[in-house]
A = this chain, B = another copy of it.
Amino acid sequence: MVKESKPTGGLEWRINIPNGTTSKVLVPESKSHFRVWNGLRGLIVGFMSRIWKFFEKAWSLAVREPKKAIHGLKVGMALSLVSLFYYMRPLYNGVGGNAMWAVMTVVVVFEYTVGATLCKCVNRAIGTFLAGALGLGVHWIANQSGEKFEPIVLQISVFLLAAAATFSRFIPAIKARFDYGAMIFILTFSLVSVSGYRVDKLFELAHHRLSTIAIGTSLCILTGMLFCPVWAGNELHYLITNNMEKLAASLDGCLVEYFGIHANVNAKGEDSDKVLQGYKCVLNSKATEEVMANFAKWEPAHGRFYFRHPWNEYLKVGAFLRKCAYCIETLNVSTNSDTEAPDILNKHFSKFCISLSSCSSDVLKELAVIMHTMTKSTKIDLMVHEMNNAVQELQCALKSLSKETIIGDSKSGIEEGNKSTTVVPLMEIVPIVYISTLLIEIAARIEKSVEAVNELAIKAEFEQESTKKSKKIQNQQNPNQPSQGNQEDLTMKTLQKV
């Protein structure tokens, strides 16, 4: 009885017979089957849901960046085209059954951007050619040194050249431009010097390999450049432009959140959070920018970019934008912290801080417009002057703080009868001083970005904006701008400072 009543740890049916002395446990016969089936079903469902999620992700990526889906189709097309060489007998005989190399070239060389494809094509061609020539030379030397020493000479040459070429891939100058070429060099040299020992048809082999590589690379370049080309230069240009817009949005968002949070706490939604976090993309964009600039240098003239477009200048602009992003990161954390200045101070400072941040973000947005339209802006200098003016106003506000407030050791801000005199403990002005100084620092960094963009505009020969066009955009973008006289006044002031 005692044993029977012990719980079995599973599903069970128990019947109590009315006389109350015995109870019988009904163990289902198919219990273990049920368990196995449930476990299996769980596994299958889990597996299917993972696959489903994967496809969902893939689909959303394809919708978000259709260029990437198109790239897949382009690779498929190029491969189908190159495999035609196999089916067409005359062509097939022409390259001597080595059409395999053409297929391989297409798969290995076809990259997302035209620049990367060109880089790999040139690398592959140069690497193959150099290694082939060197391989033939080494073969000749090995042949001269007698049958006994031939394999030794070949082995030593493979060892030394492979070691040297592999090490050279760590040297930054080589790594940036000829990494793939060095690998192809090692590959071809090893194949030529090793297979030559057997094949004895080295010249023919070299000729076939070069011609199949030529077929593969030209197919890749044509497909890459003719159907929806993705230019690394273009991507870099828009990456930098987008980064400017993201920084501007984040800067605005930070300040609005800090000063506006009291008024409307619930206004902060997911979207605004996303905008606020935009600067995070800028923090880690260095590697992408460098890769893009590297590939852009291989690209011919395309769209609005010349062959020798100053791509390195983009890296400089990117570096300054990143410095802004570091500061915005610090600002974002500090505006999110719990320590807050008293309301009276916040009210007093909010207009200066928001004015500076909106001037700063306007400058960033104008930089984005300059980049987008590739025209020099006539009003960027004015905007920078305005920004500097806002900096000065904020500094004045900080100075006047000592006039308007008597800072003592009292624990809270007490508004006195006199409207402009408030007693605020020093500790409570710390957040506002901190945020103001960060904003001033951000403005300084934005000014450096402006200089970098100006440098880029000169080197890339951006067009001069016509006065009419500029006025039109000016009115569209900034309807609340001060009048021209006022602006000139500001300009004079700022110039005197400078």
Contacts and interface: CB of A to CB of B under 8 A. Distances in A.
Contacts of A333: 441
Interface stretch (A2-10, A27-35, A71-79, A270-278): A71-79
Q: List the number of copies, as a whole number.
A: 2
Interface stretch (A187-195, A243-251, A367-375): A187-195
A334 interface: yes
A427 B398 contact: yes
Contacts of A193: 83
A365 B191 CA distance: 51
Nearest to A328: B326
A316 interface: no
Contacts of A57: 171, 173
A96 interface: no
Contacts of A122: none
Interface stretch (A280-288, A355-363, A414-422): A280-288
A57, A284, A330, A427: residue with the most chain B Cβ atoms closer than 10 Å: A330
A158 interface: yes
Nearest to A87: B151
A46 interface: no
Interface of A is mostly: helix
A170 interface: yes
A168 B76 CA distance: 13
A430 B168 CA distance: 51
Given A69-B167, A71-B167, A158 B80 contact: yes
Given A166-B71, A403-B409, A427-B395, A187 B108 contact: yes
A407 B402 contact: yes
A364 B155 CA distance: 50
Nearest to A160: B76
Interface stretch (A378-386, A431-439, A470-478): A431-439
A425 B438 contact: no
Interface in A154-196: 154-155, 158-168, 170-171, 173, 183, 186-187, 190-191, 193-195
26 contacts: A54-B173, A57-B173, A58-B171, A61-B170, A65-B170, A68-B170, A71-B167, A72-B166, A76-B159, A76-B160, A76-B162, A76-B163, A79-B158, A79-B162, A80-B159, A84-B155, A86-B197, A103-B191, A108-B183, A334-B441, A398-B430, A399-B425, A401-B426, A402-B425, A433-B434, A434-B438
Interface of A: 54, 57-58, 61-62, 65, 68-69, 71-73, 75-77, 79-80, 83-84, 86-87, 92, 97, 99-100, 103-104, 107-108, 151, 154-155, 158-168, 170-171, 173, 183, 186-187, 190-191, 193-195, 197-198, 283-284, 286-287, 323, 326-327, 329-330, 333-334, 395, 398-399, 401-403, 407-409, 425-427, 430-431, 433-434, 436-438, 441
For the complex of A and B, list the 9 residue pairs with the smallest distance between their C-beta atoms, beginning with the closest: A72-B167, A76-B163, A402-B426, A76-B159, A72-B163, A72-B166, A75-B166, A434-B437, A76-B162
